[in-house]
Amino acid sequence: VTAPDLVGRHVVVSAGGTREPLDPVRFLGNRSSGKQGYALARTAIARGARVTLIEANTGLPDPAGADVVHVGTAVDLREAVTKAAEDADCVVMAAAVADFRPANRVGGKIKKTDAEPEPIALAKNPDILAEISGDRARAGQVVVGFAAETDDVLANGRAKLARKGCDLLVVNRVGEELTFGTDVNEAVILAADGTETPVPHGPKEDLAEVVWDLVVSRFG
Ligand code: C5P
């Protein structure tokens, strides 16, 4: 039985991966399945939280008991997260947000012709996590980010934590058989106060529970 230590708290979790349209039938996307974000939402509900789940392109059914907002692009996700964060005690950015989007969204399907194809021009997306972290967070709000790293996991993670300004950064070890689309994960959770919590290879629920333990300890 889980402790009801999130009763009275509103937590916002983003999950999945954004899709950035090129034309009406094509997009730039990524391999995020949304499973870690859903595990975070389910475990928070079990611990008594009110959960807003901002879902991007997972194809997963809505978890029972969550308020779910469905989004497509990084810009949609930013709007939904910013709004939900206004009265949230915690925001966890588990979604894989595209760093770039096609600069020009073409109105009709791009046709194949005999000519060489045009290169795709890209525009930068906003860094939502950086925008809602640090000075910009509500007083007492705990902001959690995720980072996928293949090598120099800790050094890259520490630099990213400082750059983003969030309270906690869950650094995933990603590799051939790790993380994307699977039900298991392995991570180190880095905190702005310098503490580092390794979470051994195991179900995404187990990692989610450790994230909530650390969040609860920061609520004071
Ligand atoms: O910089 P990187 O993409 O590795 O950072 C990952 C973290 O930042 C994740 O928590 C992701 O949700 C968030 N992010 C974001 N906006 C972006 C890119 C990433 O909020 N444009």
Residue nearest to ligand 1 atom 19, measured at CA: 97
Task: Enumerate the known binding-site residues for CTP.
Answer: 99, 109, 126-129, 146, 160, 164
For the Cβ of 149 lying below 6 angstroms from any atom of ligand 1, the answer is no
Task: Enumerate the known binding-site residues.
Answer: 99, 109, 126-129, 146, 160, 164
Tens digit of each residue's pLDDT (9 = 90 or more) over 193-204: 999 999 999 999
Supply 38's token pair: 């859903």
For the cut 70, the answer to whether the pLDDT of residue 179 exceeds it is no
* CA nearest neighbour of 107 among 211, 209, 26, 37: 26
For the Cβ of 74 lying below 6 angstroms from any atom of ligand 1, the answer is yes
* CA nearest neighbour of 35 among 108, 101, 118, 94: 94
What is the value of ipTM here, to two decimals?
0.97
Pocket test for ligand 1, best of 40, 92, 127 (most atoms within 8 A of CB): 127
Give 54 or 105, the one with higher predicted confidence: 54
Tens digit of each residue's pLDDT (9 = 90 or more) over 21-71: 999 999 999 989 999 999 999 999 999 999 999 999 999 999 999 999 999
Q: Which atom of ligand 1 is nearest to the CA of 164?
A: 8
Contact 18, 96 (CB under 8 A): yes
For the cut 80, the answer to whether the pLDDT of residue 169 exceeds it is yes
pLDDT at 66: 98
pLDDT at 130: 97
For the cut 80, the answer to whether the pLDDT of residue 5 exceeds it is yes
Contact 38, 58 (CB under 8 A): yes
For the cut 80, the answer to whether the pLDDT of residue 175 exceeds it is no
For the cut 80, the answer to whether the pLDDT of residue 181 exceeds it is no
Average pLDDT, the chain: 94
Burial label for 140, CB within 10 Å (0-12, 13-18, 19+), is exposed
pLDDT at 72: 98
Q: Which atom of ligand 1 is nearest to the CA of 99?
A: 21
For the Cβ of 131 lying below 6 angstroms from any atom of ligand 1, the answer is no
For the cut 90, the answer to whether the pLDDT of residue 3 exceeds it is no
Give 149 or 19, the one with higher predicted confidence: 19
pLDDT at 182: 82
CA of 114 to the centre of ligand 1 (A): 39
For the cut 90, the answer to whether the pLDDT of residue 18 exceeds it is yes
For the cut 90, the answer to whether the pLDDT of residue 150 exceeds it is no
Split at pLDDT 50, 70, 90, the class of 180 is low
Q: Write down the H helix ranges in the chain.
A: 35-46, 74-85, 128-132, 153-164, 204-219
Contact 128, 71 (CB under 8 A): no
When pLDDT is averaged across residues 123-141 and rounded to a whole number, the result is: 95
Percentage with pLDDT > 70 across the chain: 97
Mark whether 156 is an active-site residue: no
DSSP 178: B
Q: Give the residues across from 20 on adjacent strands.
A: 28
When pLDDT is averaged across residues 119-131 and rounded to a whole number, the result is: 97
